[in-house]
Amino acid sequence: MEDEEIEKMVIAYLKKKGFKQTELALQEEQSKSSFASQTDPDKQILSVTESESGPAQYQDGYSKLRSWTYSSLDLYKHELLRVLYPVFIHCFMDLVAKGHTQEARAFFNSFREDHELMHLRDLQKLEGVLSPSHLEEMEFAHSLRQSKISIKMCQYSYELLVQYLQKSQSITILGIINEHINFEVSPGQPSTISDDADVVTLLGSSQDTSKLINQKEIRWGLLEDSLEERLEKAGALMSDSEKPEGETKEGEVEENKKKSVDGGKQGASVKKLKKDKVVGTTGKSIRSETNIVSMAPRVKPELSLPEIPTEVEHSILEDLRNRVQLGSLALPSVSFYTFINTHNGLNCSSISHDGSLVAGGFSDSSVKVWDMSKIGQQSDTSIMQGENDSASIEHLMGPEDGKRSYTLFQGHAGPVYSVKFSPLGDFILSSSADSTIRLWSTKLNANLVCYKGHNYPVWDVQFSPVGHYFASSSHDRTARIWSMDRIQPLRIMAGHLSDVDCVQWHANCNYIATGSSDKTVRLWDVQSGECVRIFIGHRSMVLSLAMSPDGRYMTSGDEDGMIMMWDLSSGRCVTPLMGHTSCVWTLAFSREGSLLASGSADCTVKLWDVTASTKVARTEENKSGAMNRLRSLKTLPTRSTPVYTLQFSRRNLLFAAGVLSKGV
Regarding whether 543 and 489 lie in a shared domain, the answer is yes
Whether the pLDDT of residue 197 is over 50: the answer is: no
Mean pLDDT of 356-366: 94
Regarding whether 112 and 10 lie in a shared domain, the answer is no
Regarding whether 155 and 64 lie in a shared domain, the answer is yes
What pTM did the predictor assign? 0.69
Regarding whether 151 and 17 lie in a shared domain, the answer is no
> Per the domain annotation, does 178 fall within a domain?
yes
Q: Which amino acid is at 393?
A: I
Regarding whether 645 and 627 lie in a shared domain, the answer is yes
188 three-state secondary structure: coil
CATH code, 147: 1.25.40.500
User: Closest Cα to residue 554, out of 581, 530, 583, 524?
Assistant: 524
> Per the domain annotation, does 49 fall within a domain?
yes
548 three-state secondary structure: coil
Regarding whether 49 and 24 lie in a shared domain, the answer is no
Regarding whether 112 and 17 lie in a shared domain, the answer is no
> Per the domain annotation, does 542 fall within a domain?
yes
pLDDT digits (tens, 9 = 90+) for 226-271: 766 666 666 544 444 444 443 333 333 344 334 444 443 333 333 3
> Per the domain annotation, does 254 fall within a domain?
no
> Per the domain annotation, does 291 fall within a domain?
no
Residue 380 has a pLDDT of 40
271 three-state secondary structure: coil
Q: How far apart are CA 538 and CA 65, in angstroms?
A: 27
DSSP 221: -
**Residue 188 pLDDT level (bands cut at 50, 70, 90):** confident
Regarding whether 138 and 19 lie in a shared domain, the answer is no
Residue 287 has a pLDDT of 38
Residue with the larger pLDDT of the pair 396 and 214: 214
Regarding whether 120 and 31 lie in a shared domain, the answer is no
Give the CA angle between residues 48, 51, 54 to the nearest 5°: 145
pLDDT digits (tens, 9 = 90+) for 397-452: 333 334 557 889 999 999 999 999 999 889 999 999 999 999 999 999 999 999 99
**Residue 199 pLDDT level (bands cut at 50, 70, 90):** low
Q: How far apart are CA 573 and CA 152, in angstroms?
A: 15
Q: How far apart are CA 613 and CA 81, in angstroms?
A: 29
pLDDT digits (tens, 9 = 90+) for 151-166: 888 888 888 999 898 8
Residue 351 has a pLDDT of 95
Cα–Cα separations (whole angstroms), residue 577 to 83, 88, 306, 558? 24, 28, 37, 11
Residue that is last in its domain, among 145, 175, 200: 200
Q: Which residues pair with 360 in a beta bridge?
A: 349, 368
Residue 121 has a pLDDT of 75
> Per the domain annotation, does 601 fall within a domain?
yes
Regarding whether 430 and 405 lie in a shared domain, the answer is yes
Q: What is the mean pLDDT of the chain?
A: 77
Residue that is last in its domain, among 174, 200, 226: 200
> Per the domain annotation, does 323 fall within a domain?
no
Regarding whether 31 and 57 lie in a shared domain, the answer is no
Residue with the larger pLDDT of the pair 55 and 359: 359
Residue with the larger pLDDT of the pair 387 and 353: 353
pLDDT digits (tens, 9 = 90+) for 293-332: 556 777 777 777 777 788 888 888 888 888 888 888 889 9
Regarding whether 7 and 48 lie in a shared domain, the answer is no
Number of domains, the chain: 3
% of the chain beyond a pLDDT of 70: 75
pLDDT digits (tens, 9 = 90+) for 124-138: 888 888 888 888 877
> Per the domain annotation, does 370 fall within a domain?
yes
pLDDT digits (tens, 9 = 90+) for 10-22: 888 878 877 777 8
Instruction: Report CA 31 to chain centroid distance, whole Å.
Output: 69
Enclosing domain of residue 21:
2-38
**Residue 558 pLDDT level (bands cut at 50, 70, 90):** very high
Residue that is last in its domain, among 151, 170, 200: 200
